A = this chain, B = another copy of it.
Amino acid sequence: MRAITNPSFLIHHHHHPSLASAVLRSLRHRFPNFSPSLIKVRAQSSSTSHAELDNARTGRSGSLASPPTHLDVTQKIDVNPPKGTRDFPPEEMRLRNWLFQNFREVSQLFGFEEVDFPVLESEALFIRKAGEEIRDQLYCFEDRGNRRVALRPELTPSLARLVIQKGKSVSLPLKWFAIGQCWRYERMTRGRRREHYQWNMDIIGVPNVTAEAELISSIITFFKRIGITSSDVGFKVSSRKVLQEVLRRYSIPESLFGRVCVIIDKLEKIPIDDIKKELMSVELSEDAVEELLQILSVKSLTKLEEKLGSSVEALADLKQLFSLAEKYGYSDWIQFDASIVRGLAYYTGIVFEGFDREGKLRAICGGGRYDRLLSTFGGDDLPACGFGFGDAVIVELLKERRLLPELSPQVQNIVCSLDQDLQGAASSVAARLREKGQSVDLVLENKPLKWVFKRAARINAQRLIIVGSTEWQKGMVSVKILSSGEQYEIKIDELE
């Protein structure tokens, strides 16, 4: 496969690899009204003859009603999925299943249990007054009962809701994972999609950095499993307690903390002067802003210690995390970087972000500690940390590194009858094989053998089983092993 180096191109097109469809999409992108797929729907009455219509009007039915108005309606249906969303035809679904299977297996390797929540939640669950990107892009609606609802933009608030609901009936720590679809409504200029699937792992009830270390270990286990190494991907790690310490020194109220973090998260996305302006608009003095930006440029723990002193909590956490990383054996994957704060308002401690070392792609995953989220929903706080890992950037990375797996359909047998009268016989052969756990594509029509061979090749069948009348009368079928061409007859009872 050709390596495509423009990430935005990749993002936009990676589910439509053919050139023709890329051109189409690019046209549609530039000319929003260009819709080659808008097709006139035939009136529903198209197959009705005039005679019948006349009858309907004049009346053997005895009714005087005029023809229903829908006869005249012309609708246009777009055959594409809604803007920013995806279909999963078999080839895409195989990739998604492969990815999810790896998410699941890694989570289970770490002793996590799977959970899920409604994709439609009450809007209130996601409303935080911090100017988060995720909040501004909320896919929200009013339902028929006039309730404000939203397609979830992330999974963590639902998890927090469920943890509060379960209360004391669960034994801590909880180690939960989820793979769920999340939605954001944003302009499509950057070619980003409006939905993605996100793998989350969360640990509820552990105040110690051992939890963060375990989470990072699980992501790295996932990377290794799919062929990604520490020369492809790294983790930038920091702690929000670093910022908190600076804010404390300038006596800035803790209530502003989340908002300051959200502003700082935009550091690499908007000009530095805008960042400064935004920070000053939330009550930070020029001095405080300068000090903050100074601290954010620090890339080593030694330097951080020089700046903040050795007694701050942030430093102890970070030191412990790097020491644990050594024990787990993933030191070469992680580095301290004070500029990492993550864009969600609710993080309180360690934060981390997986990044592509070539610097072409957006963050691959991110997470951190959120010890005070539950109380914002009215529950009792519990120490908690977790991460989110989307299904989009990782696929781009795998493509760039040519690590996408070859996934093809796999059916063990194709069964066909040589003449129409034996269709029932072929059904019974298929049923017999399936009872023994063998997968069977049963040919459901009378087709020439040439067609059958072509289909067998497409689905990678291992055996072709032919039900012909001469053999059938002897209680036998023909078997052809498709890899070797070997062919033989076998009694139906002996077919396994």
Contact = CB atoms under 8 A, between A and B. Distances in A.
Interface string A32-53: 0000010111101111100011
A93 to B, nearest CB: 5
A27 interface: no
Interface in A64-103: 65, 67-68, 70-71, 73, 75-83, 85-90, 93-94, 96-97
Q: Is the interface of A mostly helix, strand, loop or mixed?
A: mixed
Contact of A93 (B116, B206, B326, B328): B116
A458 B71 CA distance: 63
Given A45-B255, A253-B53, A39 B378 contact: yes
Contacts of A211: 444
B329 A118 contact: no
B115 A328 contact: no
Interface stretch (A261-269, A351-359, A361-369, A420-428): A420-428
A250 B41 CA distance: 28
B139 A61 contact: no
Contact of A75 (B118, B119, B124, B329): B124
B142 A41 contact: no
Contacts of A482: none
A251 B79 contact: no
Contact of A427 (B56, B288, B327): B327
Nearest to A41: B378
Interface residues of A, number: 145
A439 interface: yes
Contacts of A161: 77, 79, 81
A185 interface: yes
Given A45-B255, A109-B440, A113-B409, A63 B283 contact: yes
A230 to B, nearest CB: 15
A323 interface: yes
Interface string A317-340: 000000110111100000000000
18 contacts: A39-B379, A46-B375, A48-B254, A61-B252, A61-B284, A67-B253, A79-B378, A79-B379, A81-B161, A82-B149, A87-B165, A108-B411, A119-B119, A141-B141, A144-B185, A175-B441, A213-B427, A327-B425
Interface of A: 37, 39-42, 44-48, 52-53, 55-56, 60-63, 65, 67-68, 70-71, 73, 75-83, 85-90, 93-94, 96-97, 108-111, 113-122, 124-125, 127, 129, 139, 141-145, 147, 149, 151, 158, 161-162, 164-166, 171, 173, 175-176, 181, 183, 185, 195, 203, 206-208, 210-211, 213-214, 217, 221, 250-256, 258-259, 280-286, 288, 323-324, 326-329, 372, 375-379, 409, 411, 414, 423-425, 427-428, 431, 434, 437-442, 444-445, 454-455, 458-459
Given A39-B379, A68-B282, A120-B183, 19 more contacts: A48-B255, A56-B251, A61-B250, A61-B288, A67-B253, A68-B259, A75-B124, A77-B125, A79-B164, A79-B165, A79-B378, A81-B117, A82-B118, A87-B115, A94-B113, A108-B439, A111-B411, A206-B445, A217-B431
